[in-house]
């Protein structure tokens, strides 16, 4: 192994020995204290700004996640049936014809179901088994989500169709995918182009294998495969930071693959995309003027309203350091109120003596009671829409790794072949990987957030055709 590889191994071994670092959480971000809200009139002004945007829109959508979790209750039902998973499995089976995926089943399966000749257990084996349709191996983006009579669209195609209606100029889509499915994604683009007559500009990338983490046993020794080579695991979605940087775009719109509504329900998401894009553009334009005029005092007054920078930090730094502070990448994050969804949320976190706005996951404060109590006080969820500017105020691309907090890695403990293993995941993409970005959290309506964590979520209103649309 090379000296660089050996150095990486030792760094990761030490990270596991040191353990996962606990963040210094100060308080949850709340409306008026870290979360900004705008009137409908103000939002419309920002939308008007966005509608003047002539440059291509760039969308970055992580789409490598497996769809197997959508069907977890089916596996549980087969292996360890109980009242809850039995109820879920029976509901899924009884409503099968209401799901878009039913239209994609072989005709003989559809006919057997319609005739009442297909049992629940037999259907699950066909749907999920490696010898059947093997839905458990498909990326979530390739699973059929919505019915558009007479057509069916998967999540990937739905993203393309909806955003195309938002963009005034060409829209460029970038999906991070599992490389082995690249051809299938390309086929989906061709299919959609045939249906709509539209041209879609789509590119792909995968997690760089060189970022995969080394695997260690409980004695902190390298685990090797059958060929004697060190075992490696994907090091989390924080590795996608370099994929994002490679776009070299001044504005990038980010959304998860499973957070997509039926085409007829697209208006709230598109309206808020426009709002956040216009806000991002106006904020950066304002920052340029402050820097051009070296107007730190004027910025301080503006900052009192917008809360971009810790005011205590602002008073303590020189004009040169202030300009450097504004020349960081900027993220404008659409935040919805948390109605009990699992996951992290927005908090003030102390970093280098300043109160900074961060997204904090429960695992980052695990075992620390006081910080865990603070997390329970969060009233908002992780960002559901983000408009990023990964460049300086002159639109020069920035080296994004320089703005990541490498100390916010995750130590993963898993069971492999009956033995406990550990490996290090890089800081999460919108957690530690963006820890040193300038950040604005903006309240957006819950209608823009309809993730599909279970296939049963596709029965919700957001995923059904609006007959009045």
Mean pLDDT per 10-residue interval, the chain, length 469 residues: 84 90 90 97 96 88 91 93 96 96 92 94 88 86 94 96 79 94 96 92 92 91 88 88 94 96 94 97 97 96 96 94 96 91 83 92 74 80 96 96 92 82 92 95 96 96 80
Specify the 3-state DSSP secondary structure of 35. strand
DSSP 353: T
Residue 334 placed within a domain = yes
Question: Are residues 443 and 318 both part of a single domain?
Answer: yes
* CB-based contact 442:332 (threshold 8 Å): yes
- Do the bridges between strand 345-351 and strand 354-360 make them parallel or antiparallel, or are there none, so unpaired? antiparallel
Note the pLDDT of residue 178.
92
**Which stretches of 72-154 are assigned E, i.e. beta strand?**
144-148, 151-154
Specify which residues 414 forms β-bridges with.
421
- Give how many domains the chain has, as a whole number: 2
Note the pLDDT of residue 268.
95
| Cα separation, 364 vs 353, whole angstroms | 19
Note the pLDDT of residue 1.
66
Number of Cβ within 10 Å of residue 171's Cβ equals 20
Domain containing 184 equals 3-65+153-463
Note the pLDDT of residue 274.
95
Residue 103 placed within a domain = yes
Residue 226 placed within a domain = yes
Question: Are residues 423 and 305 both part of a single domain?
Answer: yes
| Cα separation, 370 vs 26, whole angstroms | 10
Q: What is the CATH number of the domain that holds 321?
A: 3.90.550.10
How many Å separate Cα 72 from the centre of its chain? 20
| Cα separation, 185 vs 138, whole angstroms | 11
Question: Are residues 161 and 125 both part of a single domain?
Answer: no
Residue 326 placed within a domain = yes
Question: Are residues 165 and 188 both part of a single domain?
Answer: yes
**φ, ψ at 417 (rounded to 5°):** 55, 40
419-422 contact pairs (CB < 8 A, 24+):
419/217, 419/218, 420/217, 420/218, 421/215, 421/216, 421/217, 421/223, 421/231, 422/16, 422/215, 422/216, 422/217, 422/218, 422/220
Residue 468 placed within a domain = no
Question: Are residues 100 and 237 both part of a single domain?
Answer: no
Question: Are residues 241 and 337 both part of a single domain?
Answer: yes
Residue 323 placed within a domain = yes
Question: Are residues 414 and 455 both part of a single domain?
Answer: yes
Question: Are residues 158 and 289 both part of a single domain?
Answer: yes
Question: Are residues 220 and 88 both part of a single domain?
Answer: no
- Do the bridges between strand 354-360 and strand 30-31 make them parallel or antiparallel, or are there none, so unpaired? unpaired
Note the pLDDT of residue 20.
84
Question: Are residues 246 and 276 both part of a single domain?
Answer: yes
Residue 272 placed within a domain = yes
Residue whose pair of structure tokens reads 């006919």 in the numeric block = 111
Last residue of a domain, one of 137, 167, 185: 137
Note the pLDDT of residue 120.
94
Last residue of a domain, one of 137, 165, 195: 137
Note the pLDDT of residue 34.
96
Residue 297 placed within a domain = yes
Note the pLDDT of residue 468.
55
* CB-based contact 61:174 (threshold 8 Å): yes
Question: Are residues 214 and 299 both part of a single domain?
Answer: yes
Question: Are residues 230 and 307 both part of a single domain?
Answer: yes
Specify the 3-state DSSP secondary structure of 309. coil
Note the pLDDT of residue 342.
59
Give start and end residues of each alpha helix (H) in 250-367. 267-292, 296-306, 311-316, 319-326
């Amino acid at each position: 192994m090379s000296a660089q590889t050996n150095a990486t191994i030792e760094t990761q071994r030490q990270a596991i020995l040191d353990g996962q670092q606990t963040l210094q959480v100060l308080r949850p971000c709340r409306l008026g204290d870290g979360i900004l809200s705008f009137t409908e009139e103000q939002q419309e002004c920002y939308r008007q700004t966005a509608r003047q945007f002539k440059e291509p829109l760039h969308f970055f959508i992580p789409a490598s996640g497996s769809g197997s979790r959508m069907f977890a209750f089916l596996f549980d039902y087969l292996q360890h049936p109980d009242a809850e998973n039995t109820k879920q499995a029976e509901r899924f089976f009884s409503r099968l014809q209401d799901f878009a995926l039913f239209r994609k089943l072989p005709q003989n399966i559809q006919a057997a179901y319609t005739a009442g000749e297909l049992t629940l257990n037999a259907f699950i084996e066909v749907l999920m088994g490696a010898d059947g349709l093997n839905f458990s191996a498909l990326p979530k983006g390739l699973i059929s989500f919505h019915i558009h009579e007479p057509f069916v669209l998967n999540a990937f195609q739905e993203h393309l169709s909806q955003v195309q209606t938002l963009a005034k100029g060409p829209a460029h889509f970038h999906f991070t995918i599992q490389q082995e499915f690249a051809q299938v994604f390309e086929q989906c683009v061709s299919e959609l182009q045939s249906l709509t007559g539209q041209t879609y500009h789509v590119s792909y990338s995968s997690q760089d294998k060189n970022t995969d983490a080394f695997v260690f046993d409980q004695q902190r020794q390298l685990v090797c495969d059958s060929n004697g080579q060190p075992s490696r695991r994907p090091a989390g979605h924080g590795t996608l930071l370099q994929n994002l940087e490679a776009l070299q775009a001044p504005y990038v719109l980010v959304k998860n693959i499973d957070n997509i509504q039926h085409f007829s329900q697209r208006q709230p998401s598109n309206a808020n995309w426009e709002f956040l894009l216009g806000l991002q553009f106006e904020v950066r334009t304002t920052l340029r003027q402050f820097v051009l005029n070296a107007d730190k005092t004027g910025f301080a007054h503006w900052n009192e309203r917008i809360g971009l920078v810790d005011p205590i930090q602002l008073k303590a730094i020189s004009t040169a350091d202030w300009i450097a502070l504004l020349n960081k990448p900027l993220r404008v994050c659409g935040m919805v109120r948390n109605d009990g969804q699992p996951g992290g949320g927005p908090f003030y976190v102390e970093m280098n003596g300043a109160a900074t706005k961060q997204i904090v996951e429960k695992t980052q404060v695990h075992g620390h009671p006081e910080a865990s109590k603070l997390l329970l006080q969060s009233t908002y969820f992780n960002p559901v829409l983000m408009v990023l500017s990964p460049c300086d105020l002159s639109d020069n691309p920035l080296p994004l790794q320089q703005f990541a907090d490498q100390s916010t890695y995750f130590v993963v403990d898993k069971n492999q072949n009956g033995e406990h293993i550990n490996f290090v995941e890089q800081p999460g993409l919108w957690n530690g990987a963006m820890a040193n970005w300038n950040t604005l959290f903006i309240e957006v309506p819950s209608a823009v957030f309809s993730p599909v964590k279970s296939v049963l979520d596709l029965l919700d209103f957001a995923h059904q055709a609006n007959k009045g649309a």
